[in-house]
Amino acid sequence: MTGIIDYGMGNIHSVQKALESLGDKTIVTNNPEELRKCEKIVLPGVGAFADAMKELEKQGLVLAVIDAIKNKKIFLGICLGMQLLFESSRESKGAKGLGVLKGEVKKFIPGKGLKVPHMGWNQLNKVISDKAPGVTECPLLKGLPENSYVYFCHSYYPDPKYKEIVSATTDYGIKFTSVVWQDNIFGMQFHPEKSQAVGLRILKNFVELC
């Protein structure tokens, strides 16, 4: 069972529909006890960093998320849900993130003909992994051609302290982190549920993780 966290700021039903089309059993919930019964957890998100953290705290979900990650449950953060995994964001001065990944979230600087937010299709550049013998890429990117296109909609991006957790980058004026992977934690700055065949392949890989 995959628990999709509903804290009022995510593209919940598109994510649920995509996972269930791949044969996954899901539950949409903001109940910490229900989340504890799930094998996998997805944290979607659209909106502001500080507002999202306030909602997670108000609904008692912060500890539930941290406990799930500490207990090695497979965890996926999508867009803002990925940013919340980090320590802080320049979007919201003084606001603390979940802090399960080291680093901060930064804002794109408009220029060179680039618009902010970064919205639309862009490419993923895989980063070779040496995390384990025989492992050369993030498991969620298995089977994806190099430079696959996915759909983005964001003004901020994570800047991890430790670059070994970076599994893919994307170019938009700068090279920014678009996929992270650390142990049981995965994060994507783009929206796999909106990324057509490529996104479904990524979510299929997620469903098949043990």
Cβ-in-10-Å burial (0-12, 13-18, 19+) of 187 comes to buried
Concerning whether 34 is annotated as a catalytic residue, the answer is no
Both tokens assigned to 54: 């306030």
Which pLDDT score, from 0 to 100, does residue 34 have?
97
Residue of 14, 162, 20, 30 whose CA lies nearest to 85: 162
pLDDT at 113: 77
Type of residue found at 175 = K
- Distances in Å between the Cα of 161 and the Cα atoms of 130, 131, 188, 203 are 18, 17, 16, 26
Looking at residue 171, its amino acid is: D
Distance CA 203, CA 210 (A): 13
Give the model's pLDDT for residue 195. Answer: 98
The maximal CA–CA distance of the chain, rounded, in angstroms, is 48
Residue 9 has pLDDT above 90, yes or no: no
Question: Which pLDDT score is estimated for 114?
Answer: 86
Q: Which of 5, 6, 15 is nearest to 199 (CA)?
A: 15
Which residue out of 38, 118, 154, 193 is catalytically annotated? 193
Which bin fits 107, alpha (ψ -120 to 50), beta or left (φ > 0)?
A: beta
Q: The domain that contains 14 carries what CATH number?
A: 3.40.50.880
Residue where the block lists tokens 């142990």: 183
Higher-pLDDT residue of 25, 113: 25
Distance CA 20, CA 185 (A): 21
- The pLDDT-based confidence of 62 (bands split at 50, 70, 90) is very high
Report the 10 Å Cβ neighbour count for 43: 27
The mean pLDDT value of the chain amounts to 95
pLDDT computed for residue 197 by the predictor: 98
Structure tokens at 145: 């051609």
Domain count, the chain: 1
β pairing state of 149-154 and 88-89: unpaired
Q: Could you tell me what percent of the chain has a pLDDT over 90?
A: 88
* Residue 11, pLDDT score: 79
Q: Are 52 and 68 in contact (CB under 8 A)?
A: no
Residues near 76 by beta carbon (within 8 Å), at least 6 away in sequence? 40, 41, 42, 43, 140, 186, 187, 188, 206
* Radius of gyration of the chain from its Cα atoms, rounded to whole angstroms: 16
Q: Is the pLDDT of residue 203 over 70?
A: yes
Question: Which residue in the list 79, 118, 137, 154 is annotated as catalytic?
Answer: 79
Q: Determine whether 193 is an active site residue.
A: yes
Q: Which one is catalytic: 154, 164, 191, 208?
A: 191
20 catalytic residue (yes or no):
no
Residues 158-176, mean pLDDT to the nearest whole number: 97
pLDDT at 129: 74
Structural domain harbouring 8 = 2-208
- Terminal CA-CA length for the chain: 12
